[in-house]
Amino acid sequence: MSRHTISAEALTDLRRRLGTLPPRSPERRRIIQAAAALYGVSEPTLYRRLRQHGQPHAVGRSDRGVPRVLPTSALERYLELIAAVKLRTSNRQGRHVSTPEAIRLLEDYGLETPEGLVQAPKGLLKTSTVNAYLKQWGLDWRTLRREPPAVRLQAQHSNELWQFDISPSDLKQLKAPAWIDASRGQPTLMLYSVVDDRSGVAYQEYHCTYGEAMEAALQFLFNAMAPKADERFPFGGSPSPSLSG
β-pairing verdict for 202-209 and 188-196: antiparallel
C-alpha–C-alpha distance, residues 50 and 59, integer Å: 21
State residue 119's pLDDT score: 92
Instruction: DSSP for 113-166, please give it.
Output: ETTEEE-PPTTT--HHHHHHHHHHTT-SHHHHHSPPPP-----SSTTSEEEEEE
> Is residue 219 exposed (0-12), middle (13-18) or buried (19+ Cβ within 10 Å)?
middle
Element (H, E) at 191: strand 188-196
C-alpha–C-alpha distance, residues 203 and 116, integer Å: 58
Q: Write the pLDDT tens digit of every residue in 164-206.
A: 888 887 766 566 666 666 677 777 788 889 888 888 888 888 8
State residue 101's pLDDT score: 94
Give SS3 for 111.
strand
C-alpha atoms less than 13 angstroms from C-alpha of 118 in its C-beta half-sphere: 16
In the chain, which residues have pLDDT < 70? 1-4, 54-66, 150-153, 171-182, 211-212, 234, 238-245
Closest by alpha carbon to 192, among 159, 160, 225?
Answer: 225
State residue 169's pLDDT score: 78
pTM score: 0.42
240 neighbors 160 (Cβ within 8 angstroms): yes
Closest by alpha carbon to 53, among 7, 19, 98, 2?
Answer: 7
Residues 6+ apart with CB under 8 A from 29: none
Residues 6+ apart with CB under 8 A from 32: 18, 43, 46, 47
Write the single-letter amino acid at 203: Y
State residue 173's pLDDT score: 58
First to last CA, the chain: 82
